[in-house]
A and B are shown apart, each in its own frame.
Chain A
Amino acid sequence: MTEKKNTDVAKTEAPKTGEPQSRTSRRGLFASIGAGAAAAALVNPGKIFAATTPPIPSIRIAKDITDSLAEATKLGSFDAKGGMTGAEVFAKSCKDEDLAALFCCPGNYQIINAISAAGIPAFGGRSEGSMTSAADGFSRCTGEVTACSGTEGPGFTNMIMNIAVAHRARTPLLVLASNVTIATDDREYFIQTGYQQPTTEGLKKYGKRLIAPDRIHEYTAYAFRHLKTGVPGPVHLDFPGEIYNHRFMAESEVKEYYSKEKYRTDSRPHPAPKDLAQAVDMINRAERPVIVAGHGVFFHKAWEPLMVAAEKNDIAVVSSGPMRGHFPDEHRLSASLSPDAFMSADLVVFVGQYSMPSKAERWRFHPDAKAIRVNPTGEDLGRNWPLDLGIVADERAFLEGLASDLPQKKRDAWVGELASARQKYEKQLLDEYEQGVKHSQATNTLHHAVVCKEVHDFLYKGSIDPKQTVTGWGGWTIGNAGARWLRAYRPGQEVNCPYQYSAVGPDLAMMIGAGAAVQLGVGPQAPYKGAPVLVITSDAGIAYSMFELDTAAKYKIPVICVVYNNNAWGMWPSAVGTPRSMHMYLFQENLRYDKMAEGLGTRGEYVRTQDEFRRALKTSYEVAAKERVSTLINVQALKEFTSGKDYPPGNIINPEPSVGALAH
């Protein structure tokens, strides 16, 4: 951990002899008051400071934090004196269900305390919304169920945008919040009363306000059935005090108290034999088939049969969804960087594509291409995209069937077309980069294409294992560029932070959650346990979650956060036609996010040139890998780069589906 002595700061704040009293700093004044010298300080502050002001203490992780994290776990037991509380019963059920992690802010105290005591990895942060996104990010790169929690009232309502983001991504997120007491419902009793379930209407898969203490386990079972079955999505439970505080002296007092093997099943729907046979026949007859491997392929861990099926029959694959990597970008059959090839595909097989596009929505498939869609449930089949064959099946079961039943086949012409399209796309990227280099050199700032190409080369072309680093991206101009340059070579390697809901702001928090998963080595992150993560975000976005750098520092989650500082919201050109509106789209120029990061206990780097950026990336990564210290790199840019008018090509909205697909 880097620790700086701030004695220099203290020294510069001490007023010089003869300066007016009004120059006395608040910090210095309070320090003096603390020493019992307030009156004297007001009379002659300079003399008192010189004599008594101690150095300002360094930022550090409190011993109470490390001691707390080292405490032994403790599951509740009916045999204990006092039995078990509702919160302990709930926490034990979550432990039994392998809840992967909890991200929260204080509030809902009994529940979060019981979950942490039970040994489920728990992280406390600075705002409920950001911690909700941290839980979302953890899940997006592991596929596991995670939880977030906040207090009733402001804590819960602070989570709403981030719950919506998780909902659009179909994240299996367990949303928890306390909610006053049943006894005081509708009385506006004291503070924070509010109806939670209507607030998350349309943003969840399932929700329930618990009102019967003895049914707490029954509703935990409801929650995990929804979280672990079919198409995932957020589940929201709100807890009145009567529920989590209730004491159970014996197991028999809890209704429906039986194990997960009895309240839910791991059985998965397999494709009907005739459906599988028809799919095999359609694929085999097609000349240029492509599989769109959506998030269901990742959540249901179907990447291995996907690879076998694709390689057996030379089927192109594009990895799609709020995470990428379930089919590797560098594979000869990957179409993720070959958007121009989609037009000639004659069969599209959507597997686990939960957020379906419409045909008229920028997806580059020919309108006459035939379509198969595979989904774990039937109610969504045929929505938005007309199908030639709809199949209800678990993604893994379907792809195992394909891998088994498809014949060996070579499609050299199709594979060659994919390669040509990739070459063309990569040339476009390089053309944009070369223009960006010129713009950067002309302005002494860094263009978004240059920033992202440098990150690309550093992570994938240097000494680091290209599969190692989990990345995420967000923001508008920089987000679109980042998506074009970041790669995914293995499952869970890339998080598409703004996926579908296009929220600005959760990026850093989401990647702190992903970073926690990598530190713990959960699921597909196990081989890369302990590696740093990297996020590319914007100056608009960072404002929403930058305080979570404190959380990253506190838990030693190493994140490299690249902030594209162009002094504006990315949508500033929307004000060009109405000049009096422009001020609403702009920030102060040259703000120093690197300094703010230092103030939060992490490192800060400030760069304006390619060389500076390369050095900053190298140093930041080394420190992250060796010392688990995070760095924010403030990359100074210009807002005008967003517009192609003066700095062509401007902001490019990415083709879909492909790397950088934002909408679906």
Chain B
Amino acid sequence: MVSGDTPAKLTREDAQKLKSPVANTKKSMARGRVLFMQNCTSCHGEDGKSEGSLVASATDLTSPQLYKSGASEGEIFHSIRDGAGDQMPAFKSQLDSETDIWNLVNFIRSLWPESARPTVQDDAK
């Protein structure tokens, strides 16, 4: 079960204001990738393009402009933690910590086109 400082209930507006406490580092993205493979690929595919047939409305994660529940880091966090749309379940009971959700957020944004990706920070920082 996720524990952390983020309020238990978030509106979309609240989520837009959230800032990640986890730096966008290669280490964070690597951890996020492992979590992505374990939790996300059945609907979103290994490459995040959601080309499989399990869920018709799964979002193509490589195109941030198609995100139905918002593409800011806080909105992505909110979608993962609390679920999104009619089909994506909440993952707060399946992930250990808010840090892991932020690691997932960092990995998911690494799937975006290069021009849209956030800057990768040094692991040492």
Contacts and interface: CB of A to CB of B under 8 A. Distances in A.
Interface of A: 340, 343, 358-364, 366-367, 424, 427-428, 431-432, 571, 573-577, 643-645, 648-653, 655, 663
Q: What range describes how many residues of B lie at the interface?
A: 20 to 34
A609 to B, nearest CB: 25
Nearest to A432: B93
Interface of B: 1, 34, 37-39, 41-43, 46, 55-57, 82-83, 85-90, 93-94, 96
B93 A428 contact: yes
A663 B42 contact: yes
Contact of A574 (B34, B37, B57, B83): B57
A574 B55 contact: yes
A431 B43 CA distance: 24
A97 to B, nearest CB: 40
Most chain B CB within 10 A, of A358, A427, A645, is at A645
Nearest to B87: A573
A428 B1 contact: yes
Nearest to A431: B93
A652 B95 CA distance: 13
A6 B43 CA distance: 50
Contact of B85 (A358, A432, A576): A576
Contacts of A363: 38
B89 A573 contact: no
Given A343-B34, A361-B42, A362-B41, 14 more contacts: A361-B37, A424-B1, A427-B1, A431-B1, A431-B93, A571-B56, A573-B57, A576-B85, A648-B89, A650-B83, A655-B38, A655-B39, A655-B94, A663-B42
B83 A649 contact: yes
A248 B42 CA distance: 56
A432 B87 CA distance: 16
Contacts of A424: 1
A427 B96 CA distance: 13
Tell me whether chain A's interface is mostly helix, strand or loop, or mixed: loop
9 closest A-B pairs by beta carbon, nearest first, are A574-B56, A573-B86, A644-B83, A360-B46, A643-B86, A573-B87, A576-B86, A650-B89, A644-B89
A136 B22 CA distance: 50
6 contacts: A358-B46, A362-B42, A424-B1, A573-B87, A577-B57, A652-B94
A334 to B, nearest CB: 20
Given A360-B41, A362-B41, A653-B42, A644 B56 contact: no
Contacts of B90: 644, 648-650
A629 B15 CA distance: 55
B93 A645 contact: no
B48 to A, nearest CB: 11
A651 B91 CA distance: 11
Contacts of A427: 1
A648 B43 CA distance: 18
Contact of A649 (B55, B85, B93): B93
A574 B85 CA distance: 10
B70 to A, nearest CB: 15
A644 B41 contact: no
A431 B94 CA distance: 12
B89 A652 contact: yes
Contacts of B1: 424, 427-428, 431
Contacts of A573: 55, 57, 85-87
B94 A428 contact: yes
A574 B39 CA distance: 20
Contacts of B34: 343, 366-367
Nearest to A644: B83
Contacts of A643: 86-87
Given A427-B1, A571-B56, A574-B57, A648 B38 contact: no
Given A362-B37, A428-B1, A573-B57, A649 B42 contact: no
A655 B85 CA distance: 21
Contacts of A574: 55-57, 87
A644 B81 CA distance: 12
A360 B42 CA distance: 9
A424 B3 CA distance: 13
A551 to B, nearest CB: 32
Contacts of A577: 56-57
A147 to B, nearest CB: 33
B89 A649 contact: yes
A610 B57 CA distance: 33
Most chain A CB within 10 A, of B34, B83, B87, B96, is at B87
Contacts of B88: 644
Given A363-B38, A367-B34, A648 B83 contact: yes
